[in-house]
Amino acid sequence: MNTLHDINEHLYQSFPELRNHIQSVTPLEAITASNLKVDEAVLKVVTGQMLSRKAAETIYQRLRLELNDSKGEVSQISYDAMIKCGLSRRKAKAIIEFSKEYSKNPSQYEAWRHLAYNELEAEVSSFWGMSKWTASMLAIFYFANPNVFPEGDGTLKKAKTLLSEGGVILSIDKAAPYKTYLAIYLWKFIDEKML
């Protein structure tokens, strides 16, 4: 297992033009797998699609109260309750469709934690309203996959554009096997106004 120092050294060697940015943001933390059940992880990820972090967290906290009332079963939260919590109709439909399947065979979906990323992406994308972005967020923040770069993420696109305007063109594959950490740094660059 490589240390954060090893990961940073790899990124410095791969992207020397990012060294000062990397050293200027809050220090990196190792990603770790979450204990959340996969259906709740999906609930949280789908809730956060195309929303600010603050708005997503507010809605998710409302949904957590519903989840507590439903004895922890996402499949028991009604469509109307999801809408009342602030979810869009599309997001509520996506969560309900997934949670129904999850409740039939939880172990099948808990096994997503151990899939190769391309397999996870295919499985997740087979559900209505879930996409490659959904798969990448699950892989990074819930399953601790160190080598995922969510190309479709709006903030990452913005970071790459701002860097390219400054003459820095990123070849994402150079970050392998730590693409996730490059993505985290790019998010930090935007969040901490380094770009």
Q: What is the pLDDT of residues 136-165, one digit of tens each?
A: 999 999 999 999 999 999 999 999 999 999
What is the structure's pLDDT at 1?
Answer: 61
Separation CA 23–CA 99 (nearest Å) = 41
Averaged pLDDT of the chain: 95
Separation CA 69–CA 76 (nearest Å) = 9
Average pLDDT, stretch 110-134? 97
Residue 72 has pLDDT above 90, yes or no: no
Domain definitions of the chain by residue range = 4-31+149-191, 38-130
CA angle 147, 32, 71 (to 5 degrees): 120
What is the structure's pLDDT at 21?
Answer: 96
Residue 68 has pLDDT above 90, yes or no: no
% of the chain at pLDDT higher than 70? 99
Q: What is the band of 2 on the pLDDT scale with cuts at 50, 70, 90? A: confident
Of 136, 173, 184, the closest CA to residue 31 belongs to 184
Domain made up of 38-130: CATH architecture: Orthogonal Bundle (1.10)
Of 126, 169, 178, the closest CA to residue 148 belongs to 178
Average pLDDT, stretch 62-89? 92
Q: Are 23 and 194 in contact (CB under 8 A)?
A: no
Each residue's pLDDT tens digit, 168-184 = 999 999 999 999 999 99
